[in-house]
Amino acid sequence: AVGSLRSTLATNTLADSSVAPVFSSTMSEGTARMINPEILFERYREGSGVPFSRFLKMCRDSLLLDNSFTYSDATFTFFSLCDSDEDETVDSDTPILSLEGFNTALKRIARQSS
């Protein structure tokens, strides 16, 4: 669970998550709600995984980047867990996070932000 998220999850289903925002409103400091990592993964996925630009967007959208989890931390977390994209439609050298890597990244973020 990502306890440091300070936003609430909009009532999305996987089918309409590409249209509706994942985070609907900012919550007060210190409060958090459980967010399904699979919904986050589907929301930010391109091809077979989450590329670096979308991972950073997820960190910004969920207000994770601050003094306890910085841009450098996000960069290190991503590149320590990424794979090459095997999707034929995307450059094969594009680093991506698989669902497993994405879940591990969320756990690292939660650990570092607590």
Could you list the pLDDT tens digit for every one of the 114 residues in the chain? 444 443 333 333 344 444 444 544 455 555 666 778 999 999 999 999 999 999 999 999 989 999 889 999 999 999 999 986 655 555 567 899 999 999 999 999 988 877
Contacts of 46 (CB under 8 A, 6+ apart): 54, 90, 96
103 alpha-carbon distance from chain centroid: 9
The pLDDT value given to residue 96:
96
**pLDDT recorded at residue 94:** 86
pLDDT of residue 97: 96
Question: How many other C-beta atoms are found inside a 10 Å radius of the C-beta of residue 99?
Answer: 15
pLDDT at 16: 42
How far does CA 59 lie from the centroid of its chain?
6
Residue 50, beta-bridge partner list: 97
List the structure tokens of 74: 């996000």
The CA-to-CA distance between both ends of the chain, in Å, stands at 12
Res 104: pLDDT: 96
Please tell me the predicted confidence (pLDDT) of residue 80: 96
CA distance 64 to 59: 5
